[in-house]
Structure 1
Amino acid sequence: MSIAYLYLCTVENDGVMPLQMTTDCGSETTQVFGLANALCEEFAPEYDCDALPPHHFLCSVKNITIEHGWLCLQSQWGMNAKIWWEAGEGTYNPANAKH
């Protein structure tokens, strides 16, 4: 299961996308870069993608804390995030401030 798939599922399910997504420049996030830019250009042409890029890459050294967090998730849930992602469908409530 890729981050790009989860990103597209979220955009499709919620009908919105973030103004900007920030990740490291890993092999699993380069597709998100292209998708975010393409979606912004197609569905939000009023936004200046140069002034506010839909996706921003962090230097890997600034992403150590985030990367460490993935290890905890992997240890807790295993390698298949898709099963857990789909198991949580319907639990997010945008009207709930805690979500």
Structure 2
Amino acid sequence: MKKNFLDLIKKTKIMQESLKKVKKELSLIEVEGKSFSGLVKIYLTCRNKVNKIFIDPSLFKKDKDMLEDLIIIAFNDAINKAKLKSKEKINTITNGIKLPFDF
């Protein structure tokens, strides 16, 4: 029984190190979120750091409220893609075991 407990501790430490590595990798992976029309795009890492925003120049001549809505849609799309990519990466380490926290 003691051996099983020591094996569990060892596996936990290995998993922690793997999660640290994935966390660093996720900070380098960029996803693109876009509005329905693709006129607004937001590029962010899987650690939710915004790297770039693209706004089609034609939108500057249009309604401010519409532009704000398109930015929100693109940003939410990017966040959802980043979460999905993060879950995929984490699942490779945890073999699908759900962690009690968001990564």
TM-score, normalising length: structure 2:
0.28
The structure carrying a bigger strand percent of its residues is: 2
The structure carrying a bigger helix percent of its residues is: 2
TM-score, normalising length: structure 1:
0.29
Structure with larger Rg: 2
